Amino acid sequence: MPERLKLLIVLAAFVGLREGELLELRRSDVDGVTGRIDVTRKVDKDADPSARGACPECGRPISSPKTAKGIRTVHVPPPFLSMLQKHLLEHTAEGPAGLLFPGDRTDHMSVRFLMDRYRPAREKAGRPDLTIHHLRHTALTLAGQHGATGAELQARAGHASQAAMAIYQHATLDRDRALAERIGETYAAWSRKPGSMNPLCIVMDAIGTLPCQSHNYA
């Protein structure tokens, strides 16, 4: 996996961001010290230059997440903070509005460009079926396994339903940060365990992202 895309896989697999949210993240949305990420926008997959809010360079519409609860703040697990900081220094476009994952030009990275580079990593990991959405599902499953309440899961995922609105109010930034820390501790434990066969650990190893103990993929 190219260096400039490794963080994108981490944010999908351990934070649970959607593909369109990832590709619209900008430098001003991220705090490299605390790992805090403000999710307030998404970019569509296909270009529609006539649409309201279309990117003037690539023509893909930029808008708020699908629901009001899609606007949220999440945190990166501590083991990945150094990767986040390095990415901000080396791969993020310049200026507060610089894209976290820019394309080859200065506009948004295309989904095709992303998948052409993600596909070899999936195959190396023995999971050619693993989509970015699957990684997001894994992130939310991990959060649930680490004690997230229903309200906290809904808040971290950016999901909304009329029945859950009252519960959402109880999810706090401090709890999300603590949840990220617990997930990070689990990842660190995986990385120290020789020959760990945890599926997510294998994928991270395959893309070269803070690899777990080495595996033989031959």
Active site residue 108: no
* 112: exposed, middle or buried (Cβ count in 10 Å: 0-12, 13-18, 19+): exposed
User: Residue 82's pLDDT is what?
Assistant: 95
Q: Quick one: what percent of the chain has pLDDT higher than 70?
A: 82
User: Residue 195's pLDDT is what?
Assistant: 61
Q: Which of 168, 175, 177, 187 is catalytic?
A: 168
Give the residue-averaged pLDDT of 137-164.
Answer: 78
What is the per-residue pLDDT across 96-125, written as a single tens digit (0 to 9) for each? Answer: 999 999 998 768 999 999 999 999 988 888
**Between 118 and 172, the higher pLDDT residue:** 118
Lowest mean pLDDT segment, chosen from 57-61, 74-78, 145-149 = 145-149
> Taking 80 as the threshold, does the pLDDT of residue 41 lie above it?
yes
Active site residue 52: no
pTM of the model: 0.80
The CATH number given to 3-40+69-207 is 1.10.443
Active site residue 60: no
Active site residue 4: no
Active site residue 119: no
Q: Which of 91, 108, 136, 156 is catalytic?
A: 136
